[in-house]
Amino acid sequence: MLRRFSINFAVFSMFLDAVLTLLALLTAVAIRPVLPPLPYLRPLDDVRLPVHIYLMVPLLWVSVFLILSIYDPRRIYKAVDEFQWVTLGVGLAVLCLAGLLYFSFRSFSRWLFITFAFIDLSFLLGWRGVARLVWRLSRAPAARRRVLIVGAGEVGTRIGQMVREHAWTGLELVGYLDDDRTKAENGLPILGTLDQVREVVERYQVEEVVIALPRRAYERLNRLVATLHELPVHARVVPDYFALALYRAAVEEFAGIPMIDLRAPALNDFQRLVKRLFDLVVGGLLTLLLLPLMGVIALAVKLDSPGPVLFRQQRVGENGRLFTMYKFRSMVANAEELRERVIEVDEEGHIIHKKPDDPRVTRVGRFIRRYSLDELPQLFNVLKGDMSLVGPRPELPWLVEKYEPWQRKRFTVPQGITGWWQVNGRSDKPMHLHTEEDLFYIQNYSFWLDLFILWKTIWVVLRGRGAY
């Protein structure tokens, strides 16, 4: 049986993708004559394609998948990642095929083209789903590997939690070594001090040792590693850079030297490209569709109270960059001057700058705020690239100055019109609790999560709960 993450399996996947893509094309050709006719499409009794089409399509599919690294096991380890990449790969391959057919074979049936795309996507996702099910059902119990963690601090406990979560791989956490024995009071299995590493390894028959010491204890590292080299164990070191990293850390090559980037971007280049294309396409369509409504709102704002229709305000965007955000004015013209009168501080010293009975809000402003209509001009910010449709809410600079360092991690992705916080409470939650929701979004980002948030935003806005 092929090993799942081997070179042979990657070659097998390429071959099977090519065969199934060809089979999908042959199936689409076979069923095209019996498909129901569509408006403006003439019925076909017989479908014949040139031989070079049957050769070109499988080759094109495999080439696109190789370019996107879909056969790289690191990219498709999780099922959701694999299905997402395969879907994007098929979509890109379909676009490439459409371009090639435009220059070589324009008489290709459009109904046939659409049918082929859906059949092919079903085949390629289907065999991968079946393969994962077979692996899960037939997987033999993994060989047990006993793990000892040196250091029971923040990094060590995080590693221990990861070991427990991956127990299905055969990992078994034996315990920790730490010179601070009081940590055992927190329920951690402290087996001894760092100087007892040899004794503990031999007593518990440890096979894997993970060194997760804080930076202040790195002077102990050389002696500890020297001891481990004398024992039949695998030793791994986890550098304590988590506290230094803004969002995530990544190993990269700099001038031929491997180094740790403490400010690696939260989104990779491909995710950023897909997100930007989605913003441009969907944001552009929404802007065109909502222009009449925006005209009506602009007129209502102008007639309701003196002042400009649009409210322009500096906000903090991705990586701390300042930009001008647009909204329909929902407050009196001198609202900024009256800000100090409405700001409150809760029992814990956190600033509360939004409340439902804000006297600065106008009559029209109260309505458009309730249904988030005042946010519509931010579609122009999306088209400009200052914001995204989905992401953490861009914050006011004077509030950011009061942020704790960990809260600044919310600026590692493009800021959005809507986001995870907005669909899980909106203004019902005070400012100082927003960041945890934003970090959840960043840490779990995917294109499908963006779609889910947009869909949920519709129902949250219609209910009008938590917006003021």
Phi, psi of 53 (to 5 degrees): -65, -40
Domain 145-240 CATH superfamily: NAD(P)-binding Rossmann-like Domain (3.40.50.720)
In tens, the pLDDT along 363-418 reads: 888 888 888 888 999 999 999 989 999 998 888 888 888 887 777 778 888 899 99
Q: Residues 158-181: what's their mean pLDDT?
A: 83
Confidence (pLDDT) at 92:
92
Q: Residues 318-331: what's their mean pLDDT?
A: 89
Confidence (pLDDT) at 118:
94
Confidence (pLDDT) at 250:
58
| Residue 265: closest CA among 318, 323, 315 | 318
Task: Work out the percent of the chain whose per-residue pLDDT is above 90.
Answer: 21
Q: Residues 57-66: what's their mean pLDDT?
A: 92
Confidence (pLDDT) at 1:
47
Burial category of 447 from C-beta neighbours within 10 Å (exposed 0-12, middle 13-18, buried 19 and up): middle
Pick 370 or 358 by higher pLDDT: 370
What's the CA angle centered on 317, arms 416 and 283, to 5 degrees?
35
Q: Residues 143-151: what's their mean pLDDT?
A: 85
Confidence (pLDDT) at 274:
85
Q: How confident is the model at residue 255 (pLDDT cuts 50, 70, 90)?
A: very low
Query: 37-51, 80-94, 251-265 — which is least confidently predicted?
Result: 251-265
| Residue 238: closest CA among 313, 308, 312, 155 | 155
Confidence (pLDDT) at 315:
93
| Residue 127: closest CA among 183, 77, 83, 63 | 83
Confidence (pLDDT) at 294:
93
Confidence (pLDDT) at 341:
61
Q: Which of 36-40, 250-254, 288-292, 395-399 has the highest mean pLDDT?
A: 288-292
Calculate the alpha carbon distances from 275 to 81, 385, 388, 416 in Å. 16, 11, 8, 11
Q: Residues 244-271: what's their mean pLDDT?
A: 58
Q: Residues 430-448: what's their mean pLDDT?
A: 73
3-state secondary structure of 16: helix
The ranges assigned to domains in the chain are: 7-138, 145-240, 269-463
Q: How confident is the model at residue 58 (pLDDT cuts 50, 70, 90)?
A: very high
Partners of 192 in the β-ladder: 177
Query: 208-217, 274-283, 316-325 — which is least confidently predicted?
Result: 208-217
Q: Residues 6 or more apart from 106 whose CB is under 8 A from it? A: none
CB-based contact 148:210 (threshold 8 Å): yes
Q: Which of 32-46, 173-187, 275-289 has the highest mean pLDDT?
A: 275-289
Confidence (pLDDT) at 33:
73
Residue 235: pLDDT above 50?
yes
Q: Return d(Cα 369, Cα 467) in angstroms, integer.
A: 6
CB-based contact 32:44 (threshold 8 Å): yes
Q: Residues 12-24: what's their mean pLDDT?
A: 92
Task: Work out the percent of the chain whose per-residue pLDDT is above 70.
Answer: 79
Supply the mean pLDDT for the chain: 80
Confidence (pLDDT) at 345:
56
DSSP state of 142: P
CB-based contact 382:283 (threshold 8 Å): yes
Confidence (pLDDT) at 432:
47
